[in-house]
């Protein structure tokens, strides 16, 4: 009977360890482009990073998380777009020393100022940090956007144990 319980106890212990761990993905191995003026409800016009964060952009204004909000919600302190994300200038090699703010605060009301700059996105609900670099921002209508970011394995890619060297897991500081 002990032998049967041992694997189950190991899995439970690992689940506790991972529940308190941040996940950090580095590099710029995933690109997303949206030409703008398309159907934002079409998955092809959304960057589905995780089940909780799907970045897109309407014909005007900023990016938003269509998984949690129907459109760009603005910059108010209650729920600024994109909901469920925080942003910092820098890269994931220094993720735990950066200061995270809203999307609008990181680009200081001028998204073009972020072109080709290293930024880290913190996905709040997933406790994931990823590298991000804006490469195109269409001004004056249309809503076009392009960027590169770290790849985040999806649910179909298997467990955290199967991911090998794709992520650095660290214990959350309390």
Does residue 161 have a pLDDT over 50?
Answer: no
What is the number of structural domains in the chain? 1
d(CA 136, CA 139): 10
Least confident of 13-17, 28-32, 83-87, 139-143: 13-17
**What is the span of the domain harbouring residue 124?**
2-171
CA diameter of the chain: 68
Does residue 162 have a pLDDT over 50?
Answer: no
Distances (CA, A) of 2 to 10, 11, 12, 113, 130: 12, 15, 15, 60, 41
d(CA 13, CA 70): 38
Does residue 77 have a pLDDT over 70?
Answer: no
Its pTM surpasses 0.85: no
Does residue 15 have a pLDDT over 50?
Answer: no
């Amino acid at each position: 009977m002990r032998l049967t319980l041992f694997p189950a106890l190991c899995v439970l212990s690992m689940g506790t360890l991972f529940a308190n761990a941040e996940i950090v993905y580095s590099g710029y191995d995933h690109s997303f482009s949206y030409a703008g003026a398309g159907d934002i409800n079409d998955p092809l016009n959304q960057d589905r990073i995780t089940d909780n964060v799907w970045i897109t952009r309407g014909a005007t204004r900023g990016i938003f998380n269509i998984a949690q909000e129907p459109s760009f919600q603005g910059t108010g302190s209650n729920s600024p777009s994109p909901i469920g994300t925080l942003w910092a200038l820098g890269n994931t090699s220094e993720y735990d020393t950066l200061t995270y703010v809203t999307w609008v605060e990181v680009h200081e009301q001028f998204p073009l100022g972020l072109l080709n700059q290293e930024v880290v996105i913190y996905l709040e609900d997933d406790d994931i940090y990823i590298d991000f670099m804006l490469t195109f921002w269409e001004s004056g209508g249309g809503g076009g956007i392009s960027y590169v970011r770290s790849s985040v394995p999806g649910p179909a890619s298997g467990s955290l144990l199967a991911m090998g060297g794709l992520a650095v897991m660290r214990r959350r500081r309390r």
